Structure 1
Amino acid sequence: MEFTEVVRNRYSCKNFDAGKAVDAAKLTEILEAGRVAPTAKNFQEQKIYVIQSAEGLAKIDKATPCRYNASTCLVVAFDRTNVFTYPGGRRDSGVEDATIVATHMILAAANAGVDSCWVNFFDPEQLAKELGLPENEEILMIMDLGHAAPGAVPLPNHGSRKPLADTVAYL
């Protein structure tokens, strides 16, 4: 698919066909897009957890009402002990690098014909504990993956965008 078509047409699916799984080859393609995403100093501090089992999906459901029947969830985390600290010492690369990785995977999913939804409506510490993640890892987000249920459509305001002049300034 043409890249501009991918970014214009991709939307956060909130109604997945629970009976239609993500093809293993497409899942690998999506995960590979995250693997090659750039990270500060190439630290590659991301950790992606693939959740597909009934037990794992039940843990996601316990943490959030926003799985929307997705057959696969990716939990995107990063290792807090392996981040680049920026000059001034106030910020590090963890959240932004994991965000870049997640964005690559979301766009790769759209390109592969797999629908997705970025989910932040959960307590990351509670979910990390529920999944038994190491204490040095911080969860950024959950990515629902699957195929839209029949009749699923973007939210009504999906195509509404401010003019470029309202969001960009040339200095």
Structure 2
Amino acid sequence: MHFNQLLRERFSVREYKPLKVSKALLIEVLEAGRLAPSAANRQPWNFILVSDEANLDQLKSCYDREWFKSVPQVIVVCGNHDESWKRSYDQKDHCDVDAAIAVDHMTLRAAELGLGTCWICHFDPDKVRELLRLPSHIEPIALLPIGYPQDNKMPEKKRKAFSDVVHEEYFGRPLSR
């Protein structure tokens, strides 16, 4: 699939077939995250694959949505604040930014492989931290359910107009096309 087509056709999947993804395909997706760029090449991430039914059931209690109860596997994306780059001017920690880039790489690779994902950030981080035995400097940043979509029909994508988000030279001046 060409990259532009992949960008247009990837969507958040909230209904999965009850099938586990093979370890080989999961490694492909995880490798895409590992290869993502990061600020100062610090690579401040850890990816935890949760496939075991007992662990998965506990993880599902961290995000109380009906559709999440049927996901076959989850990649928990964590950030390492001890390793992340901090901007010298204001000490902004780029851990979340770097983790987000890795998640984006994984979602795109998964879609290319015919797998579905859905980026989740609204979950109970303390429960996830306890379940996965995370040390204090490791933060759970995103849950990424992964599996085979129940339906490959892409929903309508709602995006802001190009002119609403792209500016030229300064904010508020639309880019001339």
TM-score by length of 2: 0.88
Equivalent residues in 2 for 1:16-165, closer than 5 Å: 16-18=16-18, 20-66=19-65, 67-149=68-150, 151=151, 153-155=153-155, 158-165=156-163
Paired AA for residue 28 in structure 2: E
Segment of structure 1 superposing worse, 126-135 or 24-33: 126-135
Deviation at 1:163, TM superposition (A): 1.9
| Structure 2 equivalent of residue 11 of structure 1 | 11
Larger radius of gyration: 2
For structure 1, the 5+ residue unaligned runs are none
Runs of 4+ in 1 over 3 A off after TM superposition: 151-155
Paired AA for residue 32 in structure 1: E
Deviation at 1:80, TM superposition (A): 1.0
1:74 and 1:142 in contact (8 A); partners too: yes
Equivalents in 2 of 1:10, 1:68: separation in Å?
A: 22
Deviation at 1:142, TM superposition (A): 0.1
Equivalents in 1 of 2:40, 2:121: separation in Å?
A: 26
Deviation track 1:108-149 (CA, whole Å, cap 9, x = no partner) reads 100111111111121212211122111210011000100112
Q: Secondary structure at the match of 2:8?
A: helix
Paired AA for residue 159 in structure 2: R
Identical-residue share of aligned pairs (%)? 28
Equivalents in 1 of 2:147, 2:61: separation in Å?
A: 19
Deviation track 1:13-67 (CA, whole Å, cap 9, x = no partner) reads 111112x111222111101101111111111110000000011111211111342
Paired AA for residue 73 in structure 1: V
Aligned length: 167
Q: Secondary structure at the match of 1:38?
A: coil
Deviation at 1:167, TM superposition (A): 1.1
TM-score by length of 1: 0.91
Paired AA for residue 122 in structure 1: F
Higher relative contact order (CA 8 A, sep 6+): 1
1:15 and 1:152 in contact (8 A); partners too: no
2:39 and 2:98 in contact (8 A); partners too: yes
2:60 and 2:69 in contact (8 A); partners too: no
Deviation at 1:96, TM superposition (A): 0.3
